[in-house]
Amino acid sequence: MMAAKAPADHAPNRVGIGGIGHMGSALLRRLAGAGWSVSVHDRDIRHAADAEAVGCGWQPDLAALVSEADVVLTVLPDAAATESAMTDRVLAAARPGTVWVDLTSGDPDTTRRSRSRADRYDIALVAAPMGGSPDDAEHGTLRLFVAGPTNAVERVRAVLTTIAGDGGVRTVSEDPADAQTVKLLVNALWCASALATSEALLVAQHAGIASEHMQELLRGTAAASTFSDKHLPRFLAGDDLDTFGIDGLVTELRTVRAIAGETHTPVLDASLHQYDAALARFGPTLGELLGVRLLEIQNHRTLRTA
């Protein structure tokens, strides 16, 4: 895919990226390749080489990064990490009118606290939790669930469309916490779909229908999903999707349970129970589909050919 072009009048708009892990590094390459003026910060100074490799600036201090940016993007493990990063010293370093875009997923209550703190320093907080992989980030095909003050969202739209495209920016509301709720529900639905589809394949296998054949037969049917079309073939080939930790996934599912309150959610609760058991079995390791792998173990069978 060709790199998206930054808008012709983007020169004054300096982007600061806080957090250069797998996703942050991919976003750095995407934005730098599109012509944005980018500086980065990470607690691990070894990531300075990632910035230098694509001609971007490096700041060893987050406050210094914020002081020179018009738009701050945080790509941290969760919203709680973003809240911890938004200290009074860091926020006081920002110029009035700075837009802080949190690209991580987390507890809506945490995002509400971060918004209140940012408001005191005349900083607009926009939540835009990401859907997709580092490869999606590098190719500008992420899905962003965006919520925040309308004028702030419009001011950063060009940056957001650089990493997600026009169709990938999905506006939720003016309350940043709502974006977190939507993203958590999307993740919870994906987990439930992964487990239900895999259970169906185990039943098909028991009836003598091969997993790969059943997966192909699902395409284009009422039972098809992103999981069955895109991720299931990878799982059948031996990939547990090791781009996100199962401990983080369990935290998200528990947060959905807390948000649900008195709402009766037996399917989502069953999904949480299975992923909780997978965390206990495998430990806090990478693998979004370890809940499905545990399902294989529980049935003393394997769906996979690798």
Q: What is the pLDDT of residue 7?
A: 43
Q: Is the pTM of this model over 0.85?
A: yes
Share above pLDDT 90 across residues of the chain, in percent, rounded to a whole number: 86
H helix and E strand count, the chain: 15, 9
Q: Do 14-174 and 181-298 share a fold?
A: no
Task: List pLDDT tens digits, range 27-84.
Answer: 999 999 999 999 999 999 999 998 999 999 999 999 999 999 999 999 998 888 899 9
DSSP 128-151: --EES-HHHHHHT--EEEEES-HH
Domain range summary for the chain, segments of one domain joined by +: 14-174, 181-298
CB atoms within 10 A of CB 108: 22
Domain covering 14-174, topology: Rossmann fold (3.40.50)
- Mind listing the pLDDT tens digit for each residue in 130-147? 998 899 999 999 999 999
The domain defined by 181-298 folds into: N-(1-d-carboxylethyl)-l-norvaline Dehydrogenase; domain 2 (1.10.1040)
pLDDT at res. 166: 83
The answer, yes or no, to whether residue 231 has pLDDT greater than 90, is yes
Pick the closest to residue 122 from 147, 97, 90 (CA basis).
97
